Copies of this chain bind each other. A is one copy, B any other.
Amino acid sequence: MDCVPCFVRQALEAVRMVTKDRLKQEKVLREVLSVLSKTSFNGPPTEIAHVVHGIVKKVADNPDPYREVKKKSNRMALELYPELKKMVQRSQNRLLTAVKLAIAGNIIDYGPSSKFDVNKTIEEVLTQDLEINDFQRFEQVLRNAKNVIYLGDNAGEIVFDRVLLEEMPDKKVTFFVRAEPILNDATVEDAREVGIDKLADIMKISVDHEGMNRNSEVFANFLRQADMVISKGQGNYEALSDRKAGVFFLLKVKCPAVAKHIGAHVGSTVLKFEDKT
């Protein structure tokens, strides 16, 4: 229920990105309200998001309303990239700095709020402690891992993920992005735009119930066979946190619902390991 007001806002923001036609905007808003009034609130929020953004795509007749926003985020983050690399090079603990930057990059998200400050977030993450900090375990598991699964989150943010991937050159990484555009989540196009495809195999995950979705057996098998699973962002956390799959969750906590579930404050930075048992 906590997510419902946020979905209504997202729908309005999304349709305004692609059309100035007030009637179309109003049509999306009314249809979203009507559908939400009948939707079950028991599923994961990501499933409801899929329905809501499906309405935007249909009414606005645009399969990817956040396309421009994503391109802009990638460009902005690529401009930051040389500076991010310097931060890692100058730091006492390269891996920790790269991990922290990857978490900071998670602020680039048009779901919980369309207002965020990337530079401020970078500064905060480098000067403050993680509120949940399983970095020691992260370092140890990574040292012994050969196959790493990395579940990406947003466009722009994936440049920060690239910086972290470059600190694990000896690993075989499979990087997951979205099969279908939703919100500003990274797709294959974004991964290529920022050069992730040169560092990792790209795989697509679907939110639809066909193909490989996060609940499918084929995806569960992928997770089981990996030596390490790194997951970015609230969406992946919501989908996987109760699965006992042995996952390292790297995220900015952005809303009260996730804050309560993960046990950290809104605005905090988190590296949380959820074990298999």
Contact = CB atoms under 8 A, between A and B. Distances in A.
Contacts of A26: 1, 41
Contacts of A202: none
B12 A8 contact: no
A120 interface: no
B33 A4 contact: yes
Interface size class of A (residues with CB under 8 A): 10 to 19
Contact of A1 (B6, B12, B31, B37): B12
Interface string A88-106: 0000000000000000000
Contacts of A36: 33
A147 to B, nearest CB: 42
Nearest to A29: B1
Contacts of A9: 5
Contacts of A5: 5-6, 8-9, 12
A234 interface: no
Nearest to A22: B1
Interface of A: 1-2, 4-6, 8-9, 12, 25-26, 29-31, 33-34, 36-38, 41
Given A1-B12, A2-B12, A5-B9, 19 more contacts: A1-B25, A1-B26, A4-B12, A4-B29, A4-B33, A5-B5, A5-B6, A5-B8, A5-B12, A8-B8, A26-B41, A30-B37, A30-B38, A33-B33, A33-B34, A33-B36, A33-B37, A34-B34, A34-B37
